[in-house]
Structure 1
């Protein structure tokens, strides 16, 4: 795994570069958060959908809720890039829609849109 920092003015986003799954559980998410905060000075993270275990997108596992609650507690913002239409779940679709209205978590189709969202919040 590699972390590339995208900086615009005083806003820094940690972009995770990896061909493998980076987050398989809550501890992995916490380790990533601590690593980018300590090593890169970032409180904004961009991940590709493929870097997160599929259980995250099965809301009944509660993995997404647990991870996003931890990130909320530590004031870390997260954007996940990918195509989410392949999930046949109304609850996930609603969750994504509501998240995208906020200022903390986004599920977006392109890295450019994700970076714009992350850099656009304090």
Structure 2
């Protein structure tokens, strides 16, 4: 399975495959962004298993660097999947996920159904 660009509730997204290259630093984020050249993608949807373990350890600053890189290029980011084990181990990560989910640029969602709800709500606001 490969990464696929498609529309969800009027939003063009890159749906990353769960089996693609691990995203674990700024360069891997840039590499993924490079595959989108010339496409009108607004959001990048990343399965949690595509993110390096260090992404979920905020003290490593990997999450900040990766998310910042995506946002510098104008993309919203949604992480899809069960990250409860990481959240249970880190109050800082729990707070980061909570605050991110209040905004409109970075979301952590459990599954694609929740993702669709978010995109539907986003479309309704615009």
Q: TM-score band (shorter)?
A: 0.7 to 0.9
- CA distance 1:77–1:118, shift in 2 (3 Å): farther
Does 2:34 align with 1:31?
no
Contact 1:56–1:64 (8 Å) recurs in 2: yes
In the superposition, the TM-score normalised over structure 1's length comes to 0.86
SS in 1 for 2:118: helix
**Partner Cα distance (2:99, 2:9) in 1:** 28
CA RMSD of superposed structures (Å): 2.0
Cα displacement (A) at 1:116: 3.7
- CA distance 1:2–1:19, shift in 2 (3 Å): same
- Count of aligned pairs: 121
Question: Bigger shift: 43-52 or 64-73?
Answer: 64-73
After superposition, the C-alpha distances for 1:76-105 in whole angstroms (9 at most, x for unaligned) are 100001112111100000000000000000
Q: Which runs of 5+ in 1 are unaligned?
A: none
Kindly report structure 1 stretches of 4+ aligned residues shifted beyond 6 Å.
none
**Partner Cα distance (1:10, 1:86) in 2:** 33
Q: Which runs of 5+ in 2 are unaligned?
A: none
Does 2:41 align with 1:53?
no
Cα displacement (A) at 1:118: 4.3
